[in-house]
Amino acid sequence: MSLSKEVILNTGYEIPLTPSTHGQLGFGTWQSAPGEVGNAVYEASRPDIGICMRLPIGMKRAFHDIPGLKREDIFIVKSPPYGYILTAYSKHRPEAVEPALDVCLAELGLGYLGVGERELDTELPKSKVRSVGVSNHTIKHLEAIIQGSGAIPAVTQFERHPRLQSEDHCKKRGIHTTAYSAFGNNMLGHPLQITHPTVKEVAQAVSRRVGKDMSGAQAILAWSQVGGHSVIPKSVTPSRIRDNFNQVDLTQEEFDHVNTLGLDRRRFNIPMTYSPAWNINLFGEREEEPAAHQVNLGL
């Protein structure tokens, strides 16, 4: 099952293929330490490796230090700084969104973002942000903002992996999906999916077929990109970053075998279970039932 597919967003802009994989493999840096993330971004953004997405502050030097890297080689997804988000959203001040974008661009030393996450009813100049996306929205959330604003986001980013498969509604709406936590999340003591026996079996089958060792992580990342989806695994270890970008295509049988993990559905990133807990029900999961607050859809 080939990964070689350019993605044209509903805004007309393209997410470039990852050079080393010809797929839609990116790189995530959320919660990475500032002292580690610069080197990790340098490794992931090398022209022979891939594109880089979902960046925190402190990336300016990493981008400018990479020989031969051109702005069009990388596709950046960025949320505004949290202080600006709180000002814009909690006080209902959409005029604060563009200044937040300017702060992001200054932090990164870049002229524009590929995707910016913001209020859909706030107009931003195309010279600064080419497409608008959302993160952690359920189907109900997406429909509420589409009905409320009349705008359809270009990209939606959410937890997606073999045990949490959900994207059909986005396809119908023409919204590109980007997956984070592709391996799950072991922060709460749950084993990563790369250790699952089925994933190991697929990795071994791929290794025999292609004649080189392939890891469970590589098998999941290959699965994640089938259908033109983007995926942004996180690592600060150069060797693991390189391994993640060393991809092969899965056969239909291998893809279907990984798919069977979906029979045991599990969401790993639930804010109600964080420490400290976010006292809000975002996704309607069982763990969120005690939450005192719900998402106000405004419908």
In a domain, 280, yes or no: no
Q: What are phi and psi of 172, to 5 degrees?
A: -60, -30
Domain count of the fold of the chain: 1
Give the HSE-up count for residue 40: Cα atoms under 13 Å, Cβ half-sphere.
26
pTM of the predicted structure, to 2 decimals: 0.77
**Tokens for 260?**
């069977």
Domain enclosing residue 45, as ranges: 7-268
In a domain, 286, yes or no: no
pLDDT under 50: residue ranges of the chain: 20-22, 32, 37-38, 42-57, 81-92
What is the model's pLDDT at position 35? Answer: 53
In a domain, 105, yes or no: yes
In a domain, 24, yes or no: yes
| Burial class of residue 52 in the structure, from the number of CB atoms within 10 Å of its CB (0-12 exposed, 13-18 middle, 19+ buried) | buried
Cα–Cα distance, 221 to 60 (Å, whole number): 27
In a domain, 199, yes or no: yes
- Indicate which CATH number applies to the domain containing 144: 3.20.20.100
- Label residues 258-292 b or e (16+ Cβ within 10 Å = b): beebeeeebbbbbbbeeeeeeeebbbeeeebeebe
* Enclosing H/E stretch for 44: helix 34-44
